[in-house]
Structure 1
Amino acid sequence: MSRISSRIGGIAPSATLAVDATAKAMRAAGQDVVGFGAGEPDFATPDHIVAAAEKACREPRMHRYTPAGGLPELRQAIAEKTARDSGVTVSAGQVLVTNGGKQAVYEAFATLLDPGDEVLLPAPYWTTYPESIRLAGGVPVDVVTGPEAGYRVTVEQLEAARTERTKVLLFNSPSNPTGAVHKPEEVREIGRWAEQAGIWVLADEIYEHLVYGEARFASILTQVPELAERCVIVNGVAKTYAMTGWRVGWLIGPTDVVSAAANLQSHATSNVANVSQAAALAAVAGPLDAVAEMRTAFDRRRLTMHRMLTETPGVTCPLPEGAFYCYPSLQGALGRSLRGRTPTTSAELCQLILEEAGVAIVPGEAFGTPGFARLSYALSDEDLVKGVSRLSALLSEAA
């Protein structure tokens, strides 16, 4: 009999967190490493949010258990924020506050899926999606998109992948890891297809405020309101308010789904830490000034990284329109001799880049598309230029 259950033993570790941890360990050992692996803003949480947490620490009611589904005032504020920012009208009873976006994703799948149910998963995808699907007993079905289409999935691709077992479509725009943003008319077409096909949509909208240039975020429920009874939206404070460590996310959906997910959470974790909930309340109910400042910095870095990557031998990269990632193809650099080695996979090449150039990037294998890599531009301008310059110099040696 195995010591570890097959369900848990089959989980792949988070590749993005592993790369970030490796980079931090190398720096702690005195090595000069530039890390592009972490998906978190490099800005401090805004002062008014921190002040709200400090105040909550001194409130006796915050020292006790609170409702598993979230502080009532936070659930109401999230409903109001969703109407304000996304144009989607929901009640506080349709909101479940979770321990970060990851818990929201897992609890949504755990609530919706029975063993063998299939989930259409456009790839490249965030590393947590397939693991959450499998943990819930579901079967991820990759629908691969490419740089030539800007990494945007089409209805034709989704329909070709749909079977009688298909229950859910995972839809993430703006996208992690590609930065792709679906146009409103594309979101509408996908939503109508899902509604007509009778399948659920799990929409991850956590990067809703991080869009650039002519791109515009469009929530699938604003485009197809009739999908409301078969749609779950997940979101959180991590990216918009530079609060990755505070661990507050939420899911929004039909009341029966939210109630069932809240029952699950009541046994798994109970309430989210009250101090973090108080901070999240200040975030979602407050101004978006800090978000605008971050977006300006990210936009500048986006253009710099894209320019430098496209000038690098063996690398091609679409211009990302959202989030804070570039997702270049490294296929032109594979199979070439580089410092006595000939990497044939993006995983091998990324390892070589880390060892030889001191640059940590996440290989495409982690996102379902070997031959590519993800680089976050959520780091200082100076480190960004230094890191991509090292990468470019190294790949220029390939023969």
Structure 2
Amino acid sequence: MSKLPNVTTSIFTVMSKMAAEYNAINLSQGFPNFPVDERLTDIVARLSKENVHQYTPMAGYPPLMSKIAKLTQSSYGRTINPELELLITAGATQGIFTSILALVKENDEVIILDPSYDSYESPVLLCNANPVRVALNDDYTPNWGTIEKACSQKSRMIIINNPHNPTGKILTEADFLQLEKILSKYPDLLVLSDEVYEYITFEEKHISAHTKNFLLDRCITVSSFGKSFHITGWKIGYTIAPEHLMKEIKKVHQFLVFSVNSISQAAISEYLDVVDVNLLGKFYQGKRDYFLKLLQNSRFELKPCEGTYFQVASYAAISDEDDVTFCKNLIINHGVAAIPISTFYSDHKDQKLIRFCFAKDNLTLEAAAKKLREI
């Protein structure tokens, strides 16, 4: 009997497979197609001949952990103890999975805000716990009244994603005040803050959980080098949590992966000495603005994008089809792949919205936009 009977092939796999079959331009799955920084590839080439090919310590490569602590301090003003409060993970998804498996027990409830990343629910189910899906408002702001009503004494965790995938929204100071109000009523409620797009923000920087004192003792924050440095295939991220939570997370991690790819850790450790993460937002803002300009004469309505490298667009002026059918026909008939937003909802709420990934080189964006303008 399946432990995940309702889980099927992810929409990302489906759309990328269709894109390959129909030779379509793939703006669906969230991976860049432009080259990795040569400074990083040069570091990897040199390290490949050095003694960095054996297990690192379970929690991570110590020089990298020290530099992440410095990065957290410089980015957010938070001082962490890398030995006790930090874990290098095999991608952010493993950090999320491991944290939920370690901290959520049978019959607990986990609040998930829809539309949501599809990797949140499965580890909850594998814990024999109950995911409680709560929809954001139609403008993708949190409805804190609804969220509070969904909480109970069984609530163990609430997952926030900031900047938010798939919508590109970022949380405000008012949102954190409302979150603090809820946490004050439920002292055993933990927060898992998925911040993998933390350095990809535009007009306004995102407000990190790291900057909120009321969260520091009860929050697990997940980050991704794969997203920040255009190296999604490396599958390397990290998790920060207070010692009493990290102690439990490490217990699961040591039996799940034990330690993470050694050469990747050594390479990123060196790369952090030469790269400026603060330039990332400006780079992707240029991509966002260029994609917006390319589609300004199309029939798609592009929604506000405050962060991430995803652009939500309405096709309501083009078709009455449901968004999954529209995305499949977009590949088959027009040669462009996107992701239907309804697949991020537990009830498959369909608002005639789709998600494009603009983390592509300009030639790809131009070719895709040309096809989209012709619809």
Gaps of 5+ in 1: 28-32, 336-342, 395-399
Q: Cα–Cα, structure 1 residues 166 and 18, in superposed 2: closer, same or farther, change >3 Å? A: same
TM-score, normalised by the number of residues in structure 1: 0.85
Deviations 1:126-185 (A, max 9, x none): 2222233323333222221244x3x12132231122233221111111111111012234
Asked if 1:305 is matched to 2:291, the reply is yes
The equivalent residue for 1:324 is 309
Asked if 1:11 is matched to 2:7, the reply is yes
Structure possessing the higher relative contact order (Cα contacts under 8 Å, 6 or more residues apart): 2
Return the alpha-carbon distance in structure 2 between the equivalents of residues 284 and 374 of structure 1.
Answer: 31
Secondary structure at the aligned position of 1:122 is classed as strand
Return the alpha-carbon distance in structure 1 between the equivalents of residues 102 and 130 of structure 2.
Answer: 15
The equivalent residue for 2:160 is 171
Q: How far has the Cα of 1:285 moved from its partner? A: 4.2
Q: How far has the Cα of 1:83 moved from its partner? A: 1.4
The correspondence for 2:31, drawn from 19, 36, 40, is: 40
The correspondence for 1:70, drawn from 55, 60, 68, is: 60
Worse-matched range after superposition: 201-210 or 71-80: 71-80
Residues 123-162 of structure 1 aligned to structure 2 (within 5 Å)? 123-147=114-138, 149=139, 151-162=140-151
The equivalent residue for 2:335 is 358
Secondary structure at the aligned position of 2:223 is classed as strand
Residues 236-275 of structure 1 aligned to structure 2 (within 5 Å)? 236-275=224-263
Asked if 1:202 is matched to 2:202, the reply is no
Q: Cα–Cα, structure 1 residues 43 and 308, in superposed 2: closer, same or farther, change >3 Å? A: closer
Q: How far has the Cα of 1:297 moved from its partner? A: 3.9
The equivalent residue for 1:216 is 205
* 2:29–2:339 Cα contact (<8 Å) kept: no
Gaps of 5+ in 2: none
Q: Cα–Cα, structure 1 residues 106 and 379, in superposed 2: closer, same or farther, change >3 Å? A: same
Return the alpha-carbon distance in structure 2 between the equivalents of residues 316 and 378 of structure 1.
Answer: 19
Return the alpha-carbon distance in structure 1 between the equivalents of residues 10 and 272 of structure 2.
Answer: 28
* 1:23–1:360 Cα contact (<8 Å) kept: yes
The equivalent residue for 2:79 is 89
Q: Cα–Cα, structure 1 residues 87 and 42, in superposed 2: closer, same or farther, change >3 Å? A: farther
Q: How far has the Cα of 1:105 moved from its partner? A: 0.7
* 2:103–2:249 Cα contact (<8 Å) kept: no
Return the alpha-carbon distance in structure 2 between the equivalents of residues 385 and 44 of structure 1.
Answer: 18
Q: How far has the Cα of 1:95 moved from its partner? A: 0.5
Return the alpha-carbon distance in structure 2 between the equivalents of residues 95 and 272 of structure 1.
Answer: 13
The equivalent residue for 1:346 is 323
Q: How far has the Cα of 1:121 moved from its partner? A: 1.4
Secondary structure at the aligned position of 2:260 is classed as coil
Task: Indicate the percent of aligned positions where both proteins have the same amino acid.
Answer: 22
* 1:172–1:205 Cα contact (<8 Å) kept: yes
Return the alpha-carbon distance in structure 1 between the equivalents of residues 220 and 235 of structure 2.
Answer: 19
The correspondence for 2:354, drawn from 367, 373, 396, is: 373
* Superposed CA RMSD: 2.3
The equivalent residue for 2:16 is 20
* 2:110–2:132 Cα contact (<8 Å) kept: yes
Q: Cα–Cα, structure 1 residues 193 and 308, in superposed 2: closer, same or farther, change >3 Å? A: farther
Return the alpha-carbon distance in structure 1 between the equivalents of residues 131 and 76 of structure 2.
Answer: 28
Q: How far has the Cα of 1:367 moved from its partner? A: 1.1
Return the alpha-carbon distance in structure 2 between the equivalents of residues 159 and 309 of structure 1.
Answer: 39
* 1:86–1:222 Cα contact (<8 Å) kept: yes
Return the alpha-carbon distance in structure 1 between the equivalents of residues 201 and 229 of structure 2.
Answer: 15
Q: How far has the Cα of 1:310 moved from its partner? A: 6.5
The equivalent residue for 1:339 is none
Asked if 1:181 is matched to 2:181, the reply is no
Residue-pair matches, total: 369
TM-score, normalised by the number of residues in structure 2: 0.90
Q: Aligned letter for 2:355?
A: R
Return the alpha-carbon distance in structure 2 between the equivalents of residues 108 and 265 of structure 1.
Answer: 9
Return the alpha-carbon distance in structure 2 between the equivalents of residues 117 and 331 of structure 1.
Answer: 39
* 1:81–1:285 Cα contact (<8 Å) kept: no
